[in-house]
A and B are shown apart, each in its own frame.
Chain A
């Protein structure tokens, strides 16, 4: 099985990873299927086996915020499993997704029996917090161009596949979705992407982005 390079599963000892897989029941989702609904009182965890899912919240008149993308090896829904509160977000399958569904009881049991894994799970939540925190700070302090560069680099680091001329971001994202992920207006995102294309830093296609000049994009993204 292939796990995302920065995913939880990639950091677990082999025996712990096997035990976590054993705790779940596999389930398939079609593109657009909802894995969990914001506000619902369920508390199971989903471990993504393959495919991509988007985490959204705040579906009201004003629009929807795209909080994050999850891929193979990532946990979904562990917040509710940890604290028993309603779901903080809606998670939707981007393409065909296969996930292991783990009940709260079995998840807790797993964490108590595998202290190394429990620490890794805590670290993975901490990493999500770190990313959310940085995005919040960037929102107030950085230009849209810098924020787009950072989001693209993050996506490439998490879900990138090396190709002959760069790193292809394997998550199929529309430009409105990319705009929602950056937290910027769509026309601004279009303009920045056009500029990055012109400078041959990225190539964009239908629901596809390839980072061509990693170093130059990193220089643009700043420290």
Chain B
């Protein structure tokens, strides 16, 4: 999601945010009244996942929904050609699996823990009853689905109208805005993603993403170490990824 400078302010340290009861902007929980979010957090059971553990499996039935309380998850779609495609990263306060619950359709994607992650796991009936009892919550669920639709539409538009280099810059900016962590010299996505996963998010070939990263590094907008990308000039990177900047 673009056009929202400063969103990274909400992505600072989990502990701090949890302590004052705030949730990242655009997450489901941030859209709920305190009393509703407390009720939701008391629902279901708390489950801990280790890195790479499957939270929801593509193609499964629609038995449960998951609310991320801490950590991050990756949303991966396996196509019939057998290749896994990373389509999104979700974090604290995000609800997953509610579409399957609402629509009664099989899972469209696999959700995997990106590191140690805790979540409230709701049975389908727990979630539908909650939403029926709390009208505002029903709207918040609709809003959180809307938000993901906006994000996906925006990515699709990028795919059609933006050069690959711009898409890589945009994906990195979004990752930092939504799931960024402070480092001494900049920002880094809280979940280590390899270049092939970045290429998935940007919709480019792996070699194209590698080339774009090299260019961005040469322009001193980011630096790379083992599995980390540190964005050293976030506003500069944001400008690189600005689709509208090239508007005549």
Contact = CB atoms under 8 A, between A and B. Distances in A.
Interface stretch (B11-19, B80-88, B170-178): B80-88
Contact of A133 (B102, B109, B200, B243): B109
Contact of B160 (A112, A115, A180): A180
Nearest to A108: B139
Contact of A58 (B80, B161, B248): B161
Interface of A: 57-58, 60-65, 67, 78-79, 82-83, 85-86, 88-89, 108, 111-112, 115, 118-119, 121-123, 125-130, 132-142, 180, 183, 222-223
Contacts of A85: 150
A39 to B, nearest CB: 8
Given A119-B138, A122-B145, A132 B156 contact: yes
Contacts of A183: 156, 159-160
A51 B147 CA distance: 27
Interface string B128-159: 00011001001101110111111011111111
Interface residues of B, number: 47
Contact of A140 (B138, B147, B157, B203): B203
Contact of B161 (A62, A132, A135): A62
Interface in B204-248: 243-244, 246-248
A82 B139 contact: yes
The main secondary structure of chain B at its interface with chain A is helix
The main secondary structure of chain A at its interface with chain B is helix
A133 B155 CA distance: 10
Given A122-B145, A132-B152, 13 more contacts: A58-B161, A65-B159, A82-B146, A108-B139, A125-B145, A129-B145, A130-B108, A136-B152, A136-B203, A139-B156, A140-B203, A141-B80, A142-B81
> Which of A108, A111, A140, A222 has the most B CB atoms < 10 Å from its CB?
A140
A218 to B, nearest CB: 14
Given A60-B243, A82-B146, A111 B77 contact: no
6 contacts: A118-B135, A118-B139, A123-B103, A126-B103, A126-B145, A180-B160
A35 B216 CA distance: 39
B138 A129 contact: no
